[in-house]
Amino acid sequence: MEVWILQLFNGISVSSILLLVALGLAVTFGLMNVINMAHGELIMIGAYTAYVVQHAFLAYAPKASFDWYFVLALPLSFAAAAFVGWLMEIGLIRFLYGRPLDSLLATWGVGMVLQQAARSVFGAPNVAVTSPSWLNGGLDIGSGLVLTYKRLFIIALVLAVLTAMYFYIYRSRAGRNMRAVMQNRDMAACLGVSTRRVDAASFAIGAGIAGVAGCALSLLGPIGPSLGTYYIVDAFMVVVLGGVGKLIGTVVGAAGIGITSTMFESWTSASLGKVLVFALVVAFLQWRPRGFVAMKTRALDGQ
Amino acid sequence: MLSKGTGLGRRIPKPWLLAAYGVAVVLLLIAPMFLSDFRLNLLSKFLAFAILALGLDLLWGYTGILSLGQGVFFGVGAYSMAMYLKLEATGGKLPDFMSWSGIDKLPAFWAPFGSFGFALAAAIALPALLAFALGWFTFRNRVRGVYFTILTQALVIIAVTLFVGQQGYTGGTNGITSFKTVLGFSLSDPNVKTALYYITAAVLIGSFVLCRWLVSTRLARVLEAIRDGENRVRFFGYDPAVFQSFAFALSGAFAGLAGVLFVFHVGIISPSMMGIVPSIEMVLWVAAGGRGTLIGAVVGTLALNWSKSLISEAYPDGWLIFLGALFIVVVVFLPRGLVGLFGSAVDFIRRRGKRHDRIPYRPVVPEGERQL
């Protein structure tokens, strides 16, 4: 019984990290159809922002307030990654709309340059980030089961980001414009929506969420220039499995991949578990080729 | 758009083209006389890569399917041959890395690789089968474009994890190494190295001729038609999935063959040579040379790899920045690659004389890509 609860908690925890990493992609890939291979590097930027904020607190803030650096690091990570994302959009991505394979190659190039830049600024080895002390320890739920606060915090953070995104996309004017532009660009433009600005803003928001993910990942272990590349392919799988264009699909995809992979990995080995998950995703696509939740469309080629 | 010939043949008069190919073949033949052993070995490696690039060009340039998983097929081919070479080096006994990881009997699936013929056949057939299976299960459901690309990338991740994880069978992170002989010839003998170079060059020329022939057949018309408008092809009564899977399997076979030759020249194969980064670099070879031209794939592979070794010798950190910038420049400014640039220059020169009937240049963006 305890094993099952722990398994489930691990699964949910892995899912929440996958979801956090994939939420940004749900905007840039899911809504805008841009394959942003530099997404991993935007995550890395968020993580390094947390690192820099922490060092700034060590150097300038009173010692007692150190624990609160993380509260400042979260919005700053969002801002830093969103700014880089915005620069990418106005400098490169805007020329590549409608050419997803080209955007894949070009953003891969951007990712490489960003990674090398991080390597020259922060050095190639990983750096450690000290987590705030209020996140150390865990919740003891009896019979030797401890749910660590860090994982619980990340689950809460994912819920918060998800809620914020829901309200932005489905309940705000800006979000309505965004959906309108993604669904029918010409019609939205006719009705006075500045599609250029909506594109740039959407991409920046997707990038910013990647930054938040990076900030959260800095809680879990050391961070380095190749931090994002570990997560990027899994995150794309989440979006493909969940289906494009709806937030709920991303949630389902992350839960599916996260829970099944922890299950398989505990039954077999880590490497065989990955193979099984992949086989399962391909099998799933036999049943629903467009992912779990797909936008309904009558267009011949979909999306 | 079912125009015949997306390559250079349309622009450059045939005698000139044949002469250019002749010069290239002669250069390949005399290269061992000018290059040091080290450079010749590099060139052999790049020629092997070029074979892979040809297959990728058939898949991407002609059929419009971008695979980021070529590293896996390359790796499977290379591992098959490496298993043979390893068994030959140990005289059919248990390889050293197996006894380190606590395996005391040669695994059953290793045993047949003691035969050269089987290893070579497996090196080509296994990647082709793997590609066909993955292609069949995805294309049949009309999973395509970027979704397919992401699936191939996931394939790379799981292949690498699998090869690293199953250390007892694959040698783990270190891969398979320390080979001595092939069919009794010492791999460290300079004469054998030169012979292997000529074999690689011959295989490359053979592959090129095969591909050239293939793109002149009706099969290639169908592939190009799928690239330009998959649904219209479906309405004509063809089943695109069959053709797409075939093209994918073919590119897998070429990648496997390239892996075999690579192992001969480099003497090691490890999971890091089939990972995400090498797989994406392979795509850039084709993109930089000019996709859909075949010769572009070869030119791009040689040019990029040659500059990679020169740049990383001079500035060890510079290559990544250079490569990253190259991705951006090629995509934004040179969508038709180096060969396309050359083709535009030829067009420009030929039209200078009769400027009044000059047709404005319109880049061809395949319909399939516009829709996605």
pLDDT for A10 equals 87
Residue with tokens 């199953």: B166
Residues A1-12 as b/e (b if ≥16 CB within 10 A, e otherwise) read eeeeebeebbbb
Write the CA distances from A90 to A41, A42, B331, integer angstroms: 18, 16, 16
Would you say residue A302 has pLDDT above 50?
A: no
pLDDT for A301 equals 56
Give dist(CA B50, CA B204) in Å, integer. 7
Residue B300, both tokens: 């791009």
Residue with tokens 């970027």: B146
Under an 8 A CB cutoff, do A272 and B165 touch?
yes
Give the model confidence (pLDDT) of A178-219 as tens digits.
Answer: 989 888 888 999 999 999 999 999 999 999 999 999 999 999
Nearest to A282 by CA among B140, B271, B368, B245: B140
Q: Exposure of B371 by Cβ count < 10 A (0-12 exposed, 13-18 middle, 19+ buried)?
A: middle
pLDDT for B355 equals 53
> Could you tell me which chain B residue has the CA closest to the CA of A242?
B147
Residue B280 near chain A (CB below 8 Å): yes
Q: Are A49 and A77 in contact (CB under 8 A)?
A: yes
Nearest to A290 by CA among A239, A227, A254, A218: A239
Give the model confidence (pLDDT) of A25-60 as tens digits.
Answer: 988 888 888 889 999 999 999 999 999 999 998 888
pLDDT for B370 equals 46
Residue B369 near chain A (CB below 8 Å): yes
Nearest to A10 by CA among A293, A297, A187, A264: A264
Contacts of B47 (CB under 8 A, 6+ apart): B28, B197, B200, B201, B204, B261, B302
Average pLDDT over residues A90-95: 91
Type and span of the H or E element at A146: strand A146-148
Residue B287 near chain A (CB below 8 Å): yes
Residue B317 near chain A (CB below 8 Å): yes
Nearest to A205 by CA among A173, A160, A175, A228: A175
Nearest to B345 by CA among B305, B292, B290, B277: B290
pLDDT for B18 equals 87
pLDDT for B156 equals 93
How many angstroms away from the CA of A37 is the closest CA of chain B?
A: 11
Question: Could you give the 3-state DSSP secondary structure of residue A17?
Answer: helix
Chain A contacts to B (CB-CB under 8 A): 33, 35, 92, 95-96, 98-106, 108-113, 115-116, 119-120, 229, 233-234, 236-237, 240, 269-272, 274-275, 278, 281-282, 285-286, 289, 300-301, 303
Residue B328 near chain A (CB below 8 Å): yes
Give dist(CA B240, CA B227) in Å, integer. 10
Q: Are A231 and A20 in contact (CB under 8 A)?
A: no
Interface mutation vs chain B, best among A89, A112, A185, most B CBs within 10 Å: A112
- Residue A251 corresponds to which amino acid? V
Q: Please list every residue in chain A whose beta carbon sits closer than 8 Å to the beta carbon of residue B319.
A: none
Average pLDDT over residues A63-78: 89
Q: In Å, how far from its chain's centre is CA B218?
A: 23
Write the CA distances from B133 to A251, B124, B220, B256, integer angstroms: 29, 15, 21, 16
Report the DSSP pairing between strands B181-182 and A146-148.
Answer: unpaired
Q: Are A178 and A31 in contact (CB under 8 A)?
A: yes
Q: Are A107 and A217 in contact (CB under 8 A)?
A: no
Q: Please list every residue in chain B whose beta carbon sits closer than 8 Å to the beta carbon of residue A284.
A: none
Residue A239, both tokens: 């979006």
Q: Record the pTM.
A: 0.88
Would you say residue A128 has pLDDT above 50?
A: yes
Reported confidence tier of residue A303, pLDDT bands at 50, 70, 90:
very low
Write the CA distances from A77 to A50, A85, A157, integer angstroms: 7, 12, 14
- Residue B154 corresponds to which amino acid? A
Q: Please list every residue in chain A whose beta carbon sits closer than 8 Å to the beta carbon of residue B156.
A: 233
Write the CA distances from A102 to A95, A98, A111, A268, integer angstroms: 10, 9, 14, 38
Type and span of the H or E element at A258: helix A247-267
Give dist(CA A113, CA B264) in Å, integer. 33
pLDDT for A226 equals 87
Contacts of A129 (CB under 8 A, 6+ apart): A47, A50, A51, A54, A218, A219, A222, A223
Question: Could you give the 3-state DSSP secondary structure of residue B223?
Answer: helix
Q: Is the ipTM of this complex over 0.95?
A: no
Residue A223, both tokens: 């961070």
- List, for chain B, all residue ranges whose pLDDT scores fall below the cut of 70: 1-12, 351-372
Q: Please list every residue in chain B whose beta carbon sits closer than 8 Å to the beta carbon of residue A278.
A: 154-155, 158
Q: Are A180 and A193 in contact (CB under 8 A)?
A: yes
Give dist(CA B327, CA B144) in Å, integer. 23
